[in-house]
Amino acid sequence: MAEFEKSVRKILKANGWEFHRHGKGDHDIWINLLTNSKVTVDGKIKSRHTANEIMKVAKIKHKF
């Protein structure tokens, strides 16, 4: 089974997002300082649907 968290983090960084802080459990909060938006990224993303939802929330046009 594929894990998507490394790809998601790489795409977020490439689109101006930065790690902000650790959240609850194994979740991390990422922030975009230009838009003052936040997105939560799970430490283990095993579903492409979850990865695509993170991209949607971050307003990044990328599909896994």
Domain assignment present for residue 62? The answer is no
Residues contacting 14, CB < 8 A, separation 6+:
none
Domain assignment present for residue 17? The answer is yes
Domain assignment present for residue 64? The answer is no
Q: What is the pTM of this model?
A: 0.89
CATH of the domain at 47: 3.30.920
Domain assignment present for residue 39? The answer is yes
pLDDT digits (tens, 9 = 90+) for 31-58: 999 999 999 999 899 999 999 999 999 9
Kindly state the DSSP code that residue 9 receives in the 8-state scheme.
Answer: H
Confidence check: pLDDT of 1 > 60: no
Domain assignment present for residue 29? The answer is yes
- Which residues form the domain of 30? 5-57
Q: What kind and span of H or E run contains 27?
A: strand 27-32
Domain assignment present for residue 63? The answer is no
